[in-house]
Amino acid sequence: MAQFPEDGTRDVIDGTPVVWYDGYWIRYYPPPESSLTEKKQLIEQLTKRAFHQTEDGINTPGERLDLARQCYEAETDPGRKRVNAAMLAGALFNRATDIFTNVVDLAAKGVEISNNNELMQQCAECFKEALELGENVKHYSGGEGLDEIWGEPFKAFVVPISAFYESRYIKVAQAMGEIDRMAAKMRAVANHVPGFAAVDEQIVAFAEAARRVSETMKNDPVIFQVWPRFVAAGEALYDFLPACSDYDNDELLAYMESARRLLREGKRVIEYLAGARVPMPKTSAAYLEKCDRFLALPVPG
pLDDT at 215 (0 to 100): 97
Has residue 274 been placed in a domain? yes
Query: Global pTM?
Result: 0.88
Tens of pLDDT, residue by residue over 145-183, are 777 788 888 888 888 999 999 999 999 999 999 999 999
Q: What is the dihedral of CA 93, 95, 101, 107, to 10 degrees?
A: -120
The pLDDT assigned to 246 comes to: 66
The pLDDT value recorded for residue 149 is: 85
Domain final position from 131, 159, 187? 159
Residues 194 and 118 in one domain: no
149 and 46 in a common domain: yes
Residue 270 lies in a domain: yes
| Domain of residue 83, residue span | 36-159
Q: Are residues 244 and 288 in the same domain?
A: yes
Of 124, 159, 194, the last residue of a domain is 159
Note the pLDDT tens digit of each residue in 183-210: 999 999 999 998 899 999 999 999 999 9
Please tell me the distance from the alpha carbon of residue 259 to that of residue 185, in angstroms, as a whole number.
12
56 and 151 in a single domain? The answer is yes
Could you give the number of structural domains in the chain?
2
> Which ranges of the chain have pLDDT less than 50?
1
One-letter-per-residue 3-state SS of the chain: CCCCCCCCCEEEECCEEEEEECCEEEECCCCCCCCHHHHHHHHHHHHHHHHHHECCCCCCCHHHHHHHHHHHHHCCCHHHHHHHHHHHHHHHHHHHHHHHHHHHHHHHCCCCCCCCCHHHHHHHHHHHHHHHHHHHCEECCCCCECHHHHCHHHHHHHCCHHHHHHHHHHHHHHHHHHHHHHHHHHHHHHHHCCCCCCHHHHHHHHHHHHHHHHHCCCCCCCHHHHHHHHHHHHHHHHCCCCCCCCCCCHHHHHHHHHHHHHHHHHHHHHHHHHHHCCCCHHHHHHHHHHHHHHHCCCCCC
Rounded Cα–Cα distance for residues 271 and 211 (Å): 10
State residue 245's pLDDT score. 65
277 shares its domain with 180:
yes
Same domain, 86 and 180: no
Q: pLDDT over 70 for what percent of the chain?
A: 98
Specify if 79 maps to a domain: yes
- Chain centroid to Cα 65, Å, comes to 26
Which residue type is seen at 292? D
Do the domain assignments include residue 22? no
Instruction: Report yes or no on 190 lying in a domain.
Output: yes
Using CA atoms, how far apart are residues 175 and 212, in angstroms rounded to an integer?
11
Q: Is residue 121 part of a domain?
A: yes
Distance CA 151, CA 219 (A): 22
Residues 177, 256 within the same domain? yes
The predicted structure's pLDDT at residue 12: 97
Q: Give yes or no: residues 193 and 278 share one domain.
A: yes
Residue 287 lies inside a defined structural domain of this protein: yes
Give the residue from 187, 225, 232, 181 showing the smallest Cα distance to 206: 232
In this prediction, residue 247 carries a pLDDT of 65
Residue 301 within any structural domain of the chain: no
CA atoms within 13 A on the CB side of 102: 9
Report d(CA 68, CA 90) in Å as an integer: 9
* Cα separation values, 169 from 10, 11, 39, 147, 193, Å: 12, 14, 18, 17, 37
Residues 181 and 135 occupy one common structural domain = no
Domain end (from 128, 159, 190): 159
Burial 206-226 (b: 16+ CB within 10 A, else e): bbebbbbbbbbeeeeeeeeeb
Give the amino acid at 280. M
CA distance 260 to 274: 21
